[in-house]
Amino acid sequence: MLTAGRAFRCRLKRVVSSTVAFRDLSNHGYSKPQVVTEDVPGPKTIALKQEANKVHQIGSINFFCDFERSKGNYLVDADGNVLLDCFQQISSMPLGYNYEGYVNLFKDESTVANIVNRAALGNFPPASYVDDLKMMMSVAPKGLSQVVTLSCGSCSNENAYKAAFMWHQRKSRGELPMNTDDNIGSCMINKPPGSPELSILSFAGAFHGRTLGCLSTTHSKWIHKIDIPAFDWPIADFPKLRYPLEEFTRENGAEEQRCLTMVEELIHQWRHKAPIAGLVIEPIQAEGGDRHASNDFFCKLREIALQNNVAFICDEVQTGMAITGEFWAHDHWKSPTPPDIVTFAKKMISGGFYFTDDMKWDEGYRIFNTWMGDPSKFPILEHTLDVVKSQDLVKHARDTGNSMQSALKDLEQRYPGVINSSRGVGMFVAFDAVDTKTRDDIVKGALRKGLLVGASGNASVRFRPSLLFSKAELDIAVDILDSTLSSISKN
């Protein structure tokens, strides 16, 4: 028998599934940006920042938001500026602001009960948790049969590293027991053999989070890392591709091979220092500047990990959930062997990671915290998946992404002294400015005209729209960019 909440969500599912062709479901109520202050941020945000600064570090705050008035792909700030948002809360909003289906979910009593009685999922999950796990497994990456729910990208990666370490040690011990006196006593004082000298290999330019283990594999910005102790773990070069790709096939192939050779060398070099239990990589280095590598590179990297008994961890925190024109970005690789672990968060609403049967541990409490995720987010994820499937938003991301990439290439040709290296997969697109100052001028100039985009790396401008980003909104974004670039090119 269905609970009231499950029955309500099934009714929503039937309504959503009744429409086959893509249509704009964002219900935004805005048709264009509207900037009402002389600059963004405006005076109300500046006053709020000054007030907050008395008790809070405000250095990362861009502006305060009016979420009640925000709709669809339009974000309204505290000053009443209506902004076309192509950044979507750092790539985390799958269907935009105040999506009607989400709002309706929170009128349901069972959803409210999950909010006010937030369960400690590892110990006392609601009866609906089994259905939630099945729902998550409906979009599991091919070849991965297990899932752990968590709260955010950092904790997803942090616990994925732990899973890789536990897998490595289990393989190393063979049939020997884990809980020997030597292991127990030494781990309690952070010494081998209970606390073994192991490592995770990561890549220059990577971003995997800011918790301590993740921070040791993050190499995108010094501000994240300075003054913080880090594990001495190996770092391989990530390919630095040259654009346009079709003009540098030979050079890019050689660069990728250089990086693969470095990975193999590091695995062998570290065997007698801190053996590499796992490697972690993003299908597209997001915070590091939207840096890409070829499908062939990733397939060969996967093969190297297999040959050396290194767990392959694919960080899909930013690239998961359809945005690249496949549900998972690593699906583009067509690798004959899946990753061992795939981490997720952001557009997946909840955090966590998928993994293979072989990676599964036998004991409780090894991957554990009080909440292990947030059950109030699972109905939102379920509804999101219904919309993604019924509206074929994977194809929409692919098609709209092609239009976005074509438009950026046109702008690149018109303003060659200002921007270059436009690139992307699906709607996960970016371009580079000629230098950091110009990039910052582009981002600020576009914001003053009502377009919110993101910055990454040294000189990259990135786009992370919702999955309901429309052709009309793309045209508006391109017009604003064109105007912004025109002004910069004249200075």
Residues with catalytic function: 207, 315, 346, 370
Instruction: Give one DSSP letter per residue of 164-230, joined into a string.
Output: HHHHHHHHHHTTS-S--HHHHHHHTTT-TTTS---EEEEETT----SSHHHHTT--S-HHHHTTS--
Report d(CA 304, CA 134) in Å as an integer: 32
Report d(CA 343, CA 280) in Å as an integer: 10
Q: Which residues pair with 65 in a beta bridge?
A: 77
**CA neighbours within 13 Å on the CB side: how many for 229?**
0
Contact between 199 and 233 under an 8 Å Cβ cutoff? The reply is yes
**Tokens matching residue 402:** 């092609």
Report d(CA 447, CA 450) in Å as an integer: 5
Contact between 156 and 150 under an 8 Å Cβ cutoff? The reply is yes
Report d(CA 258, CA 262) in Å as an integer: 6
Q: Which residues of 276-294 are buried (b: 16+ CB within 10 A; e: fewer)?
A: bbbbbbbbbbbbbbbbbbb
**Tokens matching residue 477:** 């974004």
DSSP state of 283: S
User: Omega of the bond prior to 193 within 30 degrees of 0, cis?
Assistant: yes
Coil vs helix vs strand at 93 = coil
Q: Kindly report the length of the chain.
A: 491
Contact between 233 and 202 under an 8 Å Cβ cutoff? The reply is yes
**Tokens matching residue 355:** 């993994």
Which residue in 395, 421, 394, 401 sits closest to 409, CA to CA? 421
Coil vs helix vs strand at 135 = helix
Which residue in 189, 277, 185, 292 sits closest to 238, CA to CA? 292
